[in-house]
Each structure stands twice: as structure tokens, then as C-alpha cells.
């Protein structure tokens, strides 16, 4: 890499997976351990995701886990990738993230999603009114208002929260989020790691329609990529089989803990189901360091992200650490695409 080239920032998206044979306490300990390693390896951000009623995910109380990770690290940015805003009152999220930003200044990010992150019955149990229509855009604006400076005549404030200006991102897997992020002038992260169907069109819409704002003067796009890296291609493919099984279980209504890897997955799964899963997880780099480098470079050259966020549900924690370590070494040698760097 020449001096004129800019290294593309890379981050971690962690669902705090609970492997088969492990407990949620162990999963949360593994999350902190991975975050501490990621900080040393040069990762820019460590994001956690909100999901509910899922035995295999330990990050349901996302803001609490963010505080745990931020307290156990020194400088890496920690945030939500994301908070599913329909589950919450904007004021409560402003108070939670305002508190985090007060405790850990200039280190907290707030990614916002429109999906409930769970099933209908659990969404109802979260005690939100589900019959009022889609208020996501209004809720985002309301939340940002609580995090900004106090407005004249404002009667309700987020305390802590007001004046913290926590950076807000729009997350999405469809064209809706791309349009909203462009309209509001916010950074945008696409959930390409499990729903890549609209990726190319969403990125084009976001960049072409972006309106500069007080939050960003130009579009800023983050690409999510699954990574399964190991010493050999064969070993990495075996590691990936846990996430493939988890995705199959979720799609067939049988979610559970993260399965152990399966060497003969192809012989155990209906071909049509396996094709569907592999298509959903197609934005993936899997293999040896050399293979992963080639695949990451191809994805970055195609979509020209301003950042990438890497994820990968791997059953064995030591193997997960090694995978993210290899990915970091690879990413340190990948430059920002020229077109993205010039935008």
C-alpha cells in the first residue's frame, strides 16, 4: 500500500452468540474477550445487535452489553448495530445512550433499525403499540432531537442525553432505509451479511439522493460482510457450517443455540434450502488468509464502501478469535477504493 492510499476502516458486528454446550454468561464473557482483542488488532468499532426471545443470542439488553464492553476496553468505539427502534420509546433510548456517552465520551455509536428483531408475540410482549402504523422516520427524528442541544421551549429532555450528540446511523436491508438515511443526511449501514438482495440498488439510491446535513456532509456507507478465516479453506468452510445451520434453524422456525460445525452439511440439508441459505449469506469471505484477502478485495471493489463491518458466528471461541485476527491482518493491507475515497 502506497502512502497516498487510505486504509479502509473495519469493525466488528457481534450478536454475542451462545454456542451449543455454553451458557449466556460464557457468551457475554466471550464478547468482552473478542472486543478486547479487536481493540488491539485495530478494529474501529465494536457493535452489538438487539434480538429477543432467541436462545442463541445474548445481546437482547443491547445498551447494557455495550456498557459492559465499553467499560472493559479503552478506545475502540462501541455501539448498537442496532437498536430496533419500534421496540422502544425514543426518549428511553436517548436516555440510555446519553448515559453511555456520558460515561464513555466520544466512544458510543447508535445504529437504528426498523425491524422488531423478533417474532410477533415477543414484539407484543415488549409492550409497544403495534397498531399505530410505521412511525420509524418520526421516531428517528425525535430521538436525534433528544440527543441534540436543548431547543427553545423544549419541555421534555433526555437527562443524560441532551447535548451528547451521539452519532446516529440508519441500518437497513431494503431500499427504505437507504432513502431515509439519504433524506436525513445520516451514515448508512446495509445488512448485507444476511439480506444482500437489494444491496447494489440501496447503495446507489443512498449515494445519489444523499442530502448534506449537520450530521454528515457526504454519504458514508458501511458494508457488512461475514468472515470465516482459518489456516486452510477446508477448515474455514467447516467453521462456516455453524452459521449456515443457525440460519436454516431460524428460517424453519427452530431457532436455538449456535450449532457445532458439521463436516457433511451438504448431505444433511435439502439442496433448495442450502441454496437459499448460501444466497442469503453470499456476502461472505471464507477460507485461508489468501482466499479471504481475495474475496474481501472483490467485495470492496464492487460496492466501494467507506467502511466495512465484519461478523461471523463461529462455535469455538478460540477459532472465532483466530478468524477475526486473520481478518484484521488482511484488512490492514486493503486500501480504500479510489472512487469511494474521492467522494
What domain range is 286 assigned to? 10-342
On whether residue 1 sits in a domain, the answer given is: no
Between helix 233-251 and helix 317-331 the angle, nearest 10°, is 110
In DSSP terms, 188 is beta-bridged to: 170, 221
What share of the chain has pLDDT > 90, as a percent? 83
Average pLDDT, stretch 188-213? Answer: 96
Please give the grid coordinates belonging to residue 68.
459492559
On whether residue 4 sits in a domain, the answer given is: no
On whether residue 303 sits in a domain, the answer given is: yes
On whether residue 3 sits in a domain, the answer given is: no
| pLDDT in the model for residue 56 | 95
Euclidean distance between the first and final Cα of the chain, in Å? Answer: 20
On whether residue 128 sits in a domain, the answer given is: yes
* 265-308 pLDDT per residue, tens: 988 899 999 999 999 999 999 999 999 999 999 999 999 999 99
| pLDDT in the model for residue 134 | 78
CATH number at residue 44: 3.20.20.30
pTM of the model: 0.93
| pLDDT in the model for residue 2 | 46
Number of domains in the chain: 1
On whether residue 179 sits in a domain, the answer given is: yes
Amino acid at each position: 500500500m502506497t502512502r497516498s492510499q487510505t486504509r479502509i476502516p473495519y469493525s466488528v458486528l457481534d450478536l454475542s452468540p451462545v454456542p451449543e454446550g455454553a451458557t449466556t454468561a460464557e457468551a457475554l464473557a466471550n464478547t468482552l474477550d473478542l472486543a478486547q482483542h479487536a481493540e488491539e488488532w485495530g478494529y474501529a468499532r465494536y457493535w452489538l445487535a438487539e434480538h429477543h426471545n432467541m436462545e442463541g443470542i445474548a445481546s437482547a439488553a443491547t445498551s447494557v452489553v455495550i456498557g459492559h464492553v465499553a467499560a472493559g476496553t479503552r478506545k475502540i468505539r462501541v455501539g448498537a448495530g442496532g437498536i430496533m427502534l419500534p421496540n422502544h420509546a425514543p426518549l428511553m433510548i436517548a436516555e440510555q445512550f446519553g448515559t453511555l456517552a456520558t460515561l464513555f465520551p466520544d466512544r458510543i455509536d447508535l445504529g437504528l433499525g426498523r425491524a422488531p428483531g423478533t417474532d410477533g408475540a415477543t414484539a407484543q410482549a415488549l409492550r409497544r403499540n403495534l397498531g399505530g402504523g410505521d412511525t420509524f422516520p418520526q421516531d428517528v427524528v425525535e430521538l436525534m432531537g433528544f440527543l441534540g442541544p436543548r431547543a427553545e421551549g423544549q419541555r421534555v429532555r433526555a437527562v443524560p442525553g441532551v447535548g451528547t450528540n451521539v452519532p446516529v446511523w440508519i441500518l437497513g436491508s431494503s431500499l427504505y432505509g437507504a432513502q431515509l438515511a439519504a433524506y436525513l443526511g445520516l451514515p448508512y449501514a446495509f445488512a448485507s451479511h444476511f439480506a444482500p438482495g437489494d444491496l447494489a440498488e440501496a447503495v446507489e439510491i443512498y449515494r445519489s439522493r444523499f442530502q448534506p446535513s449537520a450530521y454528515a456532509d457526504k454519504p458514508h456507507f458501511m458494508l457488512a460482510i461475514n468472515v470465516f478465516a482459518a489456516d486452510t479453506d477446508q477448515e474455514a468452510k467447516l467453521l462456516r457450517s455453524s452459521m449456515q445451520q443457525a440460519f436454516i434453524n431460524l428460517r424453519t422456525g427452530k431457532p436455538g443455540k449456535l450449532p457445532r460445525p458439521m463436516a457433511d452439511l451438504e448431505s444433511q440439508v435439502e439442496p433448495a434450502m442450502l441454496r437459499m441459505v448460501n444466497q442469503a449469506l453470499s456476502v461472505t469471505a471464507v477460507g485461508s488468509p489468501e482466499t479471504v484477502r481475495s474475496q474481501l478485495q472483490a467485495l470492496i471493489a464492487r460496492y466501494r464502501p467507506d467502511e466495512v463491518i465484519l461478523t461471523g458466528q463461529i462455535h469455538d471461541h478460540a477459532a472465532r478469535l483466530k478468524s477475526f485476527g486473520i481478518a484484521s491482518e488482511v484488512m490492514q493491507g486493503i486500501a480504500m477504493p479510489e472512487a469511494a475515497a474521492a467522494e
